[in-house]
Amino acid sequence: MLTSVVIVAAVALAIAGTYLYRQYASAGAHRVFISQAAQADCKPAVDSYMKSHAGSGLSYNERSKSAIILDTAKAQGKQSIAVHPVPALTLNTGARRVVLRPATTYWLSFDGGDDTVAALERKLGSFYKEGRPTTLTAVGDIIPGRTVAKLMAQLGVSYPFTGIASTVKGADVVYGNLEAPLSDRVKPPYKGMAFIAPSTTVQGLKLLGVNIVSLANNHSTNFGLNALTDTMTNLRNTGIEYAGAGMNLAEARSPTIVVAGGTSFAFLDYNSIIGSLNATTTKPGVSWIRMKPWSRDSAEDATMVCDAVRQAKAQGHFVVACFHWSDEYKYAPSQSQRNMAHAACDAGADLVIGSHPHIMQPIEFYNGKLIAYSLGNFIFDQVDPAYTKQGVVMKCRYSGTALTALDLVPYVIQDWCRPVPATGAQGRAILDQLLKISGM
């Protein structure tokens, strides 16, 4: 009898030991390391898998203690499978397609395959194809004053907008730089460099599907702070958000959140051009930073921008950093512009959009982030030089924070104020110029 009890106990201990060993081995097998080079593309997919499979035992650890490694190269001494989490990114410009980012090959290396490894491989291959993509369309400078205001008075407020509306509207987010107050305090002057438009101009913005504009520029306060606050009220009452202005400096610099297409967008907008009434701790105005050409580049302001980007990113937003900057009529962005754009991207901005030069400036794909230095005039009465009447509508498609498609639609401004899509040789010439200055 005693012998039987001893045998049963020994068997039980062996079974328990085997179970504990397997649990320990499984825990070790499910420790994951993602290299710095693979973080941006692979970590969102792994995070998503961990969230939906909490019982898988998957956890992050340092490389030496991990049995699963994601990197741009195979890990020595392990089995490896090639994965392509992010699809290739192509820039579509009419008949021409430019590959901005080829599909990057990463290697999923592991000691021994099991169901978790197989499921992780599937997740990495499908993550950026899951669910509905989010779309964002951006246009350049909207300046509905002067001759534009005159033609709206004669032909109706919709006149400048209807020729391009079908091209612009329909995205989850439609953004533009609104560079004139919308207020009825003053009758719009049809000459000069101070711009204002009637409050009914918001109807034209609605025709475009615009749901957020920047007010951080040098013309939003042309007719004083009351006209600016009128604009803020008119926009909000029409369901259009604004960024880069506020009742005080903290509000002007705070991110404007737009939730659309299942994504939370945070817009941070800054003006660097002289002539604006800048917000203070106690007064309304626009958000401002100091940088060339109108001031020395301010390290303090650059740090403020980057801190704001980091904070918005840490809160889980898709961060769009927008800057009113640059010398006018120069195709090449200055080193100050590039430094600021790159710093914002390095801090976590997912997209950078610039305005003010009145012409197109390059697009750049920097460390996986898109920078559009200037999209050109969009609605404005400028006719000289001729290239100030040209620009592009930028249409982005995202899966999560990964840009998966980019379309540029060229246009020309007709009759002083009315952008219409440019087709044929004219459209190709505009796109070829943009690709040329972008080094593509």
Tokens of 321: 């950093």
Q: What is the structure's pLDDT at 29?
A: 52
Q: What is the mean pLDDT of residues 42-46?
A: 88
CATH 3.30.1540.20 assigned to 134-437 = no
In contact, 373 and 333? CB cutoff 8 Å: yes
Kindly report the average pLDDT of the chain as a whole number: 90
297-339 confidence digits (pLDDT tens)? 999 999 999 999 999 999 999 999 999 999 999 999 999 999 9
Q: Please say if the pLDDT value at position 84 is more than 60.
A: yes
What's the confidence (pLDDT) of residue 418? 95
Mean pLDDT, residues 151-163 taken together: 97
**Which residue, 347, 342, 351, is CA-closest to 406?**
351
Which CATH architecture best describes the domain 31-85+104-129? 3-Layer(aba) Sandwich (3.40)
Lowest-pLDDT choice from 45-49, 230-234, 289-293: 45-49
For residue 349, the tally of other CB atoms under 10 A from its CB is 29
Q: Which of 102, 124, 112, 107 is nearest to 42 (CA)?
A: 124
Give me the amino acid identity at 321: A
> Do the beta carbons of residue 344 and residue 309 sit within 8 Å?
yes
pLDDT over 50 at 75, yes or no:
yes
Residue 25 confidence class, pLDDT cut points 50, 70, 90: very low
- The yes-or-no verdict on residue 130 having pLDDT over 90 is no
pLDDT at residue 7 in the model:
44
Q: Do domains 31-85+104-129 and 134-437 have the same CATH topology?
A: no
CA distance 232 to 313: 25
Q: Which residue has the higher pLDDT, 249 or 25?
A: 249
Q: Check residue 96 and give its pLDDT.
A: 76
Query: Would you state the pLDDT for residue 126?
Result: 85
13 — pLDDT class (breaks 50, 70, 90): very low
Nearest to 180 by CA among 288, 322, 276, 273: 276
pLDDT at 407 over 60: yes
105, 131, 100, 110: which is closest to 42 by C-alpha? 105
- Least reliable range by pLDDT among 28-32, 140-144, 267-271, 328-332: 28-32
Q: What percentage of the chain carries pLDDT values higher than 90?
A: 71
- Name the residue ranges covered by the structural domains of the chain: 31-85+104-129, 134-437
Write the pLDDT tens digit of every residue in 262-307. 899 999 999 999 999 999 999 999 999 999 999 999 999 999 999 9
pLDDT value at residue 173: 97
**pLDDT confidence of 30, banded at 50, 70, 90?**
confident
Give CA–CA dist 329/360, Å, rounded: 9
In the prediction, which pLDDT does 404 show?
85
Q: Calculate what percentage of the chain has a pLDDT beyond 70.
A: 93
Residue of 85, 62, 71 whose CA lies nearest to 35: 71
pLDDT(12) > 70? no
Phi first, then psi, for residue 272 (nearest 5°) are -125, 5
Answer whether residue 206 shows pLDDT above 80.
yes
Residue 103, pLDDT score: 82
Q: Please return the burial class of 32, using the count of CB atoms within 10 Å of its CB with bins 0-12, 13-18 and 19+.
A: buried
C-alpha closest to that of 111 among 69, 67, 81 = 67
Q: Contact 240/206 with Cβ under 8 angstroms?
A: yes
Instruction: State the average pLDDT over residues 114-120.
Output: 86
Write out pLDDT tens, residues 358-405. 999 999 999 889 999 999 999 999 988 888 999 999 999 988 778 888
What pairing do the DSSP bridges indicate for beta strands 351-355 and 363-366?
Answer: unpaired
Section 339-362 average pLDDT: 97
Environment class of residue 55 by beta-carbon count within 10 Å: exposed (0-12), middle (13-18) or buried (19+)?
A: exposed
Place of tokens 């962005």: 333
C-beta separation of 32 from 58 below 8 A: yes
Question: Across residues 186-200, what is the average pLDDT?
Answer: 95
Whether the predicted pLDDT of 6 surpasses 50 = no
